[in-house]
Amino acid sequence: MADVAVNPNQQVPLDTIPISPSDNSSGEPQGESSEGEIRTVFHDADNFNVKHPLMNTWTLWFTKPPSGKGDNWNELLKEVISFDSVEEFWGIYNNITPTSDLALKSDYHLFKRGVRPEWEDAQNKHGGKWAFQFKDKKVINIDALWLHVMLAAIGENLEEQDDNEVMGVVVNVRRGFYRIGLWTRTVGKALPNDPNKGRTFEQGKETLQKIGKRFKAALQLKDNETVEFSGHTDAAHAGSTRAKAKFVA
């Protein structure tokens, strides 16, 4: 897959993602209809004949608000749909409830397929997350910010190709704030049987901080605003998602 963004401070230029190959037994030019018309989701959101592939398959999850009757996490967390192309992403995005209209205590999670948005998941349990809390809900456009973060994630714009850190992104809707997070596979320390097992902690920390800076750019934060990174284990021991920050960006 070609690079979809050279500058991490820019929104992912989705129109640069190449057209996916297909078994074209009809002899017609790839991506064209019988009338020779190329249609993408940018031309027609419902009827298109070209797909622009993503490097990974992604799954959208939703956490519905608790009923107050002792619901457990597994009952509240629902898998919505998976996709692996730009067209499918926009088709889904244009047909789900905007974040700003979600009920309190709702969450959207966008994770690589096969990774559940839970601390206990085998691919998350040694990891952590970058997060920022928007305390004044009235002055931000949470729908635009969440969209920017999702585009940066599916466009592989939050990390270098060999970093192998980004697991997914999440937005939380709460009474006094919105919070957007980015989950990583490690907290900097290389894991057993890891492709990056030769990486030192300092190298891992540098990688995570570069990811944090790209995440901060996607959130359109000011220089004096900081995103914080904490480990899932620390958060679990603290009994809260607000564990002490390991480092900031």
**What are the structure tokens assigned to 30, written together?**
């790839």
Residue count of the chain, please give it.
249
- In the chain, where the domains are located: 14-21+31-248
In order along its 249 residues, the chain shows pLDDT tens digits of 333 333 333 333 333 333 333 333 333 333 444 456 777 766 776 677 778 899 999 999 999 998 877 777 778 999 999 999 998 999 899 999 999 999 999 999 999 999 999 999 999 999 999 999 999 999 999 999 999 999 999 999 999 988 999 999 999 999 999 999 999 999 988 777 776 767 888 888 999 999 999 999 999 999 999 999 999 987 655 555 555 678 888
Residue 16: what are its φ and ψ, rounded to 5°? Answer: -95, -5
Could you tell me the sign of the dihedral formed by the alpha carbons of 179, 182, 188, 191, in that order?
positive
Instruction: Name which of 113, 98, 86 is nearest 18 in CA terms.
Output: 86
Half-sphere exposure of 35 (CA within 13 A, CB side): 4
- Fold observed for domain 14-21+31-248: RNA Cap, Translation Initiation Factor Eif4e (3.30.760)
Enter the pTM of the model.
Answer: 0.79
**Residue 95: CA count within 13 A, CB half-sphere:** 11
